[in-house]
Amino acid sequence: MSATIRPALPADVRGINRLVEPMTHTGILLGKDLVSYYEAVQEFLVAVDADGEVVGCGALHVMWEDLAEVRTLAVHDEHRGTGLGHQLLDALLERAVQLGLERVFCLTFEVEFFTRHGFEVMSEEVDPDVYVQLLRSPDEGIAEFLDLARVKPNTLGNTRMIKALPTQS
């Protein structure tokens, strides 16, 4: 089964929701309202099959001038093990490089998957000035990145991971 990866369109949002929604029941992914997907559609890449159905997705959410988070990375069960998840993540990382970002963060249960892409378990501290600015965000992903007590136990994934990106010359 082959799929084409491209930027998501508003017309893809219901397909993204259909793909992600079953994974929210098991706690693998965070559930979102449709309006949240529409508001963030420009952050998403989708993988579509020959019939135009969304069979994979992932988002890159910029958190700071040098930092983004990979969010909502999902592949339909029929496409697992085909490398599609790896292709989506590689495309999101390339997008981060194109944006001039230095680091990409994720929250995941799939530690081995992200480790194969150069992510490491996060142990770094956040610069105090940046920390104060990030605290102002209502975004739960930023709260997880900051490791705030209010989001414990971790609801979005067991492990906070980060990857340094190559800089563009």
CATH number at residue 123: 3.40.630.30
Q: What is the pTM of this model?
A: 0.83
**Looking at residue 143, what is its pLDDT?**
64
Q: In this predicted model, what pLDDT tens digit does every residue of 115-155 receive, in sequence order?
A: 999 999 877 666 666 656 666 666 666 666 666 554 555 45
Q: Locate 90 and state its tokens.
A: 């590689």
Q: Is residue 26 in some structural domain?
A: yes
For tokens 């990382």, name the residue.
93
Q: Is residue 169 in some structural domain?
A: no
Q: What is the mean pLDDT of the chain?
A: 86
d(CA 78, CA 20): 14
Residue burial 6-36, b: 16+ Cβ < 10 Å; e: rest = eebeeebbebbbebbeebeeeeebbebeeee
Q: Is residue 92 in some structural domain?
A: yes
Q: Is residue 154 in some structural domain?
A: yes
Percent of the chain with pLDDT over 70: 78
Higher pLDDT, 2 or 163: 163
Q: Is residue 47 in some structural domain?
A: yes
Q: Is residue 145 in some structural domain?
A: yes
How many domains, in total, are found in the chain? 1
Q: Is residue 16 in some structural domain?
A: yes
Range of the domain at 28: 4-164
Q: Is residue 160 in some structural domain?
A: yes
Q: Could you tell me the CA-to-CA distances from 52 to 10, 12, 48 in Å, in that order?
A: 14, 9, 5
Q: In this predicted model, what pLDDT tens digit does every residue of 72-97 receive, in sequence order?
A: 999 999 998 899 999 999 999 999 99
